[in-house]
Structure 1
């Protein structure tokens, strides 16, 4: 991650099935107006992805190759949800539902040689406990649904070595407008970035301790 830019990419999805207005993209558009906060030294980029497996595969690869972000957040809609769900991991198999073009991945697989499960570097349970979003519940999940948003998540976790997230938001409603979802995304992504910084600092501390012990041992051996 240290070699990557300070860019954070957040994506939402376009229309599909009966969802002519996709709340995920509406929420991301609101986030783009809000930004991630003045204290976040990152460049926010927002993109819409189509509900199309083949197009998503190409675009996710380009995001990581061209922008080299430190973190990517995919936002999808869960039509049955009443809460915002933070997805901890993504699975490689089981993608059997057709996309907007009627396409399904061959054998229902993201990457034929990929691991069965890839887990985000971020502890979604910790984020869901800490994040306070007024007007909507936040929970974490270990089953991202095996549709195009989960597919995008798996690919981002693969390309980014775990530096990715998937947030499922409910459909828009009078009591859950896009403005509230956009604010929720801001709060949640801030927490996720702080979680990554904590993990990085801890890893650096462990690395320094290990190095110091090695030098000390080496001195004794000499």
Structure 2
């Protein structure tokens, strides 16, 4: 019998102008598929939450991959982030928190890539059939998304992915974003079988 694969998928709570966060809505839509375990991402809890999620990656009965989903006000497509950055964090989050050293991990690498090759992942998804455009980025910003992604990659030996989605209705519905997310995660799991290490930043 084929072993079931499990993915930890996280979304963010509302913040700023986003009274409904498209990332969390898209994640919640997938709960009904019973494919993914989901958790609401709180603003200042990353330093403890990320290690707890990633410490179980090597256990045979728990997630093989951690996928974080966040909203981007400038995105018009579902955006796959290739890497995360350690330095340059200046903005406070919802809890008025900003790292004192303006970095994620003191002494950590400047940039950490995912073990998954995002351009290859993008090419594996039939965007016309999906009805949702997919793109690749190498800069997730210097806010909570990039911060979360860096910690996740650092603790999980690169076995993490960050996906940015546009705000709801700009132009995609929750159902469309959820469908794209599900298709991408299934492809991630397939691709993970063939990828053994990250590319350089």
**Normalised by the size of structure 1, how large is the TM-score?**
0.80
**Would you identify which runs of 4 or more consecutive aligned residues in structure 1 move more than 3 Å?**
none
Residue aligning to 1:29: 28
Residue aligning to 1:76: 70
| 8 Å contact kept, 2:70–2:165 | yes
* Secondary structure of residue in 1 paired with 2:10: strand
Within the candidate set 41, 46, 52, 1:49 is matched to 41
Separation in 2, partners of 1:16, 1:132: 32
**Normalised by the size of structure 2, how large is the TM-score?**
0.87
TM-superposed deviation, 1:57: 1.6
Structure with the greater alpha carbon radius of gyration:
1
RMSD, matched Cα: 1.9
* Secondary structure of residue in 2 paired with 1:75: strand
Residue aligning to 1:172: 168
* Secondary structure of residue in 1 paired with 2:193: helix
Higher helix share: 1
Residue aligning to 1:144: 140
Residues 138 and 70 (structure 1 numbering): CA distance in 2 closer, same or farther, change over 3 Å?
same
Q: How many residue pairs were aligned?
A: 188
TM-superposed deviation, 1:151: 0.8
Residue aligning to 1:65: 55
Separation in 1, partners of 2:170, 2:100: 40
| 8 Å contact kept, 2:76–2:171 | no
TM-superposed deviation, 1:158: 0.8
Separation in 2, partners of 1:35, 1:173: 25
TM-superposed deviation, 1:35: 4.1
* Secondary structure of residue in 2 paired with 1:24: helix
| 8 Å contact kept, 2:76–2:170 | no
Separation in 2, partners of 1:86, 1:145: 13
Separation in 1, partners of 2:118, 2:134: 10
1:109 paired to 2:103:
yes
For structure 2, the 5+ residue unaligned runs are none
Residues 119 and 189 (structure 1 numbering): CA distance in 2 closer, same or farther, change over 3 Å?
same
Q: After alignment, is 112-121 or 170-179 more displaced?
A: 170-179
Separation in 2, partners of 1:47, 1:115: 27
Residue aligning to 2:119: 125
Residue aligning to 2:177: 181
Residue aligning to 1:153: 149
